[in-house]
Amino acid sequence: MSVLRFCPRCALELTTRPDGGRDRLACPDENCGFVHFGDFSIGCAGVVMREGRALLVQRGWQPFAGSWQLPGGYVEHDEAIAEAVEREVLEEAGIEARVSDVIGFRHSLGGSIGGPSTNLYVVFRLDTEDGREPSFDNDEITGAGFYSLAEMAQMEAVQGLSRWAIEKALATGRGSGLQPESGASSALSRGRPGWRLFGLQPPGGL
């Protein structure tokens, strides 16, 4: 990936200036005010359980073609993260499911996962009443199904992070993680378009 050279706001050539304790690329026009804080991306994945088995999909594209993992992908810049993971589960496995809570997340520094961006990867638990068998496009995804941990142990190339998340889901109760808030508890979000709060809930709910 090429290094950013010109201001994306006004097209002036960027210079370097101290900001927040380190030198950063910035626009020389003070009226513009653009500062480049780096490249970031957000990913998401969903743990969907059915009778003690977790939904996995098989990658058809590189990198790691042929490996098995939770359905997931990148969050679009104008997309709510809960909607993104529900979309990815539907697109990759043909299963309709809704977010219950957050199981955990992984933070990786730029370059550590094969790309230039620092990445935050959030794993959700999703609920489903969809009794259909998983379906896939046989291109990006070449297989999909529900598997137990014992079955995964006999499969080749099951992603370690996916297995970790499934084990966490099996060891914790539904709703024990960070949950999307609504109603009175989401008052902080009012008047702030695009905000969605996730928080731990007290026993028995609010």
DSSP secondary structure string for all residues of 38-62? --EEEEEEEEEEETTEEEEEEE-SS
User: What is the model's pLDDT at position 81?
Assistant: 96
For residue 191, is it within any domain? no
Task: Answer yes or no: do 34 and 49 share one domain.
Answer: no
Tens-place pLDDT, residues 151-202: 999 998 999 999 999 999 999 999 999 999 876 555 666 667 778 889 998 8
Residue 14 CA to its chain's centroid (Å): 31
Tokens for 134, please give them: 């998983």
Domain with 33, as residue range(s), is 1-38
Q: Is the sign of the CA dihedral 109, 112, 117, 122 positive or negative? A: negative
Task: Answer yes or no: do 53 and 123 share one domain.
Answer: yes
User: What is the model's pLDDT at position 205?
Assistant: 57
Task: Answer yes or no: do 139 and 97 share one domain.
Answer: yes
Task: Answer yes or no: do 86 and 124 share one domain.
Answer: yes
Task: Answer yes or no: do 73 and 122 share one domain.
Answer: yes
Task: Give the pLDDT band (50/70/90) at residue 109.
Answer: confident
Tens-place pLDDT, residues 140-154: 999 999 999 999 999
Please identify which residue in the block is written with the tokens 């378009």: 193
Q: How many domains does the chain have?
A: 2
